[in-house]
Chains A and B, each alone.
Chain A
């Protein structure tokens, strides 16, 4: 169980304009700006949940993850994870959690990955049989059998990320924090990582909190999303719930020959050239099937596709709505 109550964190940042004069002035007097990275963040995540934590750059996602993993001490507020306050009982708390920072590496650079794993075995005091089971499972699921014998510096990004995730799970934590786990990965690796995270969540009941900019991650993985912007939680709900909110508009791609599209109430033609048209259909006014009916009687349609709102568009519209 993860509970955050009114967590706030402010950073002081020295700022100055460019130029020699300004630099000299800054020697004597600095101007600081206070940045409210987090203000009054509260939420609650139950055991076994998988939560997507999203928001634009600088919204406070990573700060929240850092607070929850005990690296950062907030200015105010309370946070309890499995009964412990991360920054007060850092070491004890660390034994229960796994963290992957997509932008950093925990693997030991010039030795085979398996040596890093062995070190973690001692660090987390994993007993030999548990370690063997864990390792076998992770190696099979993430397809690491060859990779673990390679020095970390010679791995590709995708291979390394799979190893990073394995390293964070060796001690079977009950909570897993993933800070942009799919950053920079190709499609195949992304899918492998996603499948694995799903599996861990389902089979071990690991609580997963995931920050990402990749909407496919969110769509594939999480039922619940938390949207954060300028340090505040703006939205807490399920993805389908959100989608249904703004689902009245469908996008229609049309390819046709002969004739022109007739104007129709409820249909906005966004672009139409060389027999290819993109239009949005407001289903409150006109059903999609009716629109197709009218169009097909006026022109001969060669290809047609209808799309609901993608998560990506949804997020962009959310960002716009909350002006972040």
Chain B
């Protein structure tokens, strides 16, 4: 376990060094956040009846999304890992007494967490100071707060486990750009990172919520704002646990099969 923690620490410390990128990221996130709020408030004013959630819930959703973007972005891949697979430096990774899946999972999580830690606080603070209903409000109960943290961690695991599948695919295609584009577009749409899931037709939403995509960011953010609560919250958290195990287990097995076939070419 300690060896993976070492990799986590290194990646984490490495990630914290990029101050300029973090500043640029924060300002982008603010801009996006405000644009979304403006867009949805126009929508809400046009027809308040058709608005599927309370506006303050939506505002919280948007700000959390911006603050924790790094944990849930579906388009993030560790470029070191991708190039390692295509140029063969994976050879050195394979002669270590390490489980490659665990190692890459750890690295990816560390990179995500370090990015999120640098970016989230300014956004959370400023967003909570904004006037009602445009700002970030506190969760309805302490239980919701606890469940929010738990489901956020699990949600990040689901996102990471999903990206691990792309690394596996990369063993077969060498250049993963195509697979990546398709996978991240589907995931972006279905996870509610473009449009929150409540805005989709009810039947469609029901189905999506049961898929791995529905338990990525949709679940923690809506638990926080109280838009998912009660039995539904417990059921969907169960689904999230289920998908975490399935995706990690499936990815691990797939990687084991891929490593059996991998051929590091050249001298």
Interface of A with B (CB < 8 Å)? Answer: 11, 57, 62, 66, 69-73, 87, 90-92, 94-95, 97, 99, 101-106, 119, 122-125, 179-180
Q: What is the distance, in angstroms, from A12's C-beta to the closest C-beta of chain B?
A: 10
Chain B interface residue count, Cβ-Cβ cutoff 8 angstroms: 23
CB atoms of A179 and B267 under 8 A apart: yes
Say yes or no for B6: interface residue by CB 8 A criterion: yes
CB atoms of B6 and A101 under 8 A apart: no
Say yes or no for B89: interface residue by CB 8 A criterion: yes
Q: What is the distance, in angstroms, from B1's C-beta to the closest C-beta of chain A?
A: 11
CB atoms of A71 and B260 under 8 A apart: no
* A123 contact from B3, B88, B91, B260, Cβ within 8 A: B3
* B99 contact from A62, A71, A91, Cβ within 8 A: A91
Q: Can you list 19 A-B contacts with CB-CB less than 8 angstroms, sorted by A residue number?
A: A62-B267, A66-B91, A69-B94, A71-B264, A90-B94, A91-B97, A91-B98, A94-B98, A97-B95, A99-B92, A103-B266, A105-B92, A119-B7, A122-B3, A122-B6, A123-B97, A123-B98, A124-B97, A125-B2
> Which residues of chain A are within 8 angstroms of B262 by Cβ–Cβ distance?
71-72
CB atoms of B267 and A103 under 8 A apart: yes
CB atoms of A180 and B267 under 8 A apart: yes
* A104 contact from B3, B6, B7, B91, Cβ within 8 A: B91
A94 and B267 in contact (CB under 8 A), knowing A73-B261, A122-B2? Answer: no
* Whole-angstrom CA separation of A95 from B7 in the bound complex: 17
Say yes or no for B96: interface residue by CB 8 A criterion: yes
CB atoms of B92 and A104 under 8 A apart: yes
CB atoms of B267 and A123 under 8 A apart: no
Other A-B pairs beyond A66-B264, A70-B94, A90-B94, 6, CB < 8 Å: A69-B95, A91-B97, A94-B98, A99-B92, A101-B267, A123-B96
* Whole-angstrom CA separation of A104 from B96 in the bound complex: 15
Q: Mark B79-109, 1 if CB is under 8 A from A, else 0.
A: 0000000001101101111110000000000
Say yes or no for B207: interface residue by CB 8 A criterion: no
* Whole-angstrom CA separation of A94 from B10 in the bound complex: 22
Say yes or no for B263: interface residue by CB 8 A criterion: yes
> Which residues of chain A are within 8 angstroms of B7 by Cβ–Cβ distance?
119
CB atoms of A70 and B267 under 8 A apart: no
Chain B, range 219-267, C-beta contacts under 8 Å to A: 259-264, 266-267
Closest to A179 in B: B267
> Which residues of chain B are within 8 angstroms of A62 by Cβ–Cβ distance?
266-267
A73 and B88 in contact (CB under 8 A), knowing A62-B267, A103-B266, A122-B3? Answer: no
> Which residues of chain A are within 8 angstroms of B97 by Cβ–Cβ distance?
91-92, 94-95, 123-124
* Whole-angstrom CA separation of A62 from B261 in the bound complex: 16
* Whole-angstrom CA separation of A101 from B94 in the bound complex: 12
Q: What is the distance, in angstroms, from A8's C-beta to the closest C-beta of chain B?
A: 14
A106 and B3 in contact (CB under 8 A), knowing A91-B99, A94-B97, A95-B97? Answer: no
A99 and B95 in contact (CB under 8 A), knowing A104-B89, A125-B2, A125-B3? Answer: yes
> Which residues of chain A are within 8 angstroms of B98 by Cβ–Cβ distance?
91, 94, 123
